[in-house]
């Protein structure tokens, strides 16, 4: 159990803490700010674990599996909380979560064929915009409403573009389905 894997596990353990502060009436009006801090810390562990793993050659199969899963769990949990708080339309969250299921399934098929599909720049941009969108929506500052809406639409567009990019660049994976 190396440091990057511990950071990944820490990120997963932060998810229920985030949800409790986001949806529960645990800390009153401070709850959303605590939830925001937890989300930002969890998001930063996503940046750190990958950098540390690559820099110090600590890449493991556990990390390859759990890191993207932890990222998806964090973002999807946040988005579901935001739907419950009526800060984002459910259909947008459905599109985002559907993309994650499609890519995960696609990667499983690729692995069975001996292919590893690396994250693309579109996917990294998508993740960045989704995390910024979540942060803005958690803050829920009326003066930032237009910016929040713009970031939401960019995140949604990048979600679809990154899906198309993955499928197009790796269409040979689906060759058996022709």
pTM of the predicted model over 0.85: yes
Q: Comparing C-alpha atoms, which of 43, 178, 28, 169 is closest to residue 107?
A: 169
Give the mean model confidence (pLDDT) for residues 154-163: 97
Residue 137 structure tokens: 């929506």
67-115: per-residue pLDDT in tens? 888 999 999 999 999 999 999 999 999 999 999 999 988 888 888 877 7
Q: Say whether pLDDT at 177 is over 70.
A: no
Contact between 71 and 127 under an 8 Å Cβ cutoff? The reply is yes
């Amino acid at each position: 159990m190396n440091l990057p894997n511990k950071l990944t596990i820490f990120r997963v353990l932060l998810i229920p803490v985030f949800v409790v502060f986001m949806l529960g009436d645990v800390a009153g009006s401070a709850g959303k700010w605590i939830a925001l801090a937890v989300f930002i810390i969890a998001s930063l562990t996503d940046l750190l674990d990958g950098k540390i793993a690559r820099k110090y050659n600590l890449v493991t199969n556990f990390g390859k599996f759990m890191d993207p899963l932890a990222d998806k769990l964090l973002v999807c949990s946040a988005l579901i909380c935001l739907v419950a708080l009526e800060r984002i339309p459910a259909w947008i969250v459905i599109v985002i979560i559907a993309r994650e299921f499609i890519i995960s399934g696609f990667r499983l098929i690729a692995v069975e064929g001996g292919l590893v599909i690396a994250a693309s720049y579109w996917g990294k941009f998508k993740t960045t915009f989704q995390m910024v969108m979540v942060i803005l929506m958690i803050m829920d500052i009326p003066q930032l409403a237009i910016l929040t809406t713009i970031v939401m639409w960019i995140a949604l567009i990048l979600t679809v573009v990154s899906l198309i990019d993955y499928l197009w660049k790796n269409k040979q994976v689906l060759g058996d389905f022709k």
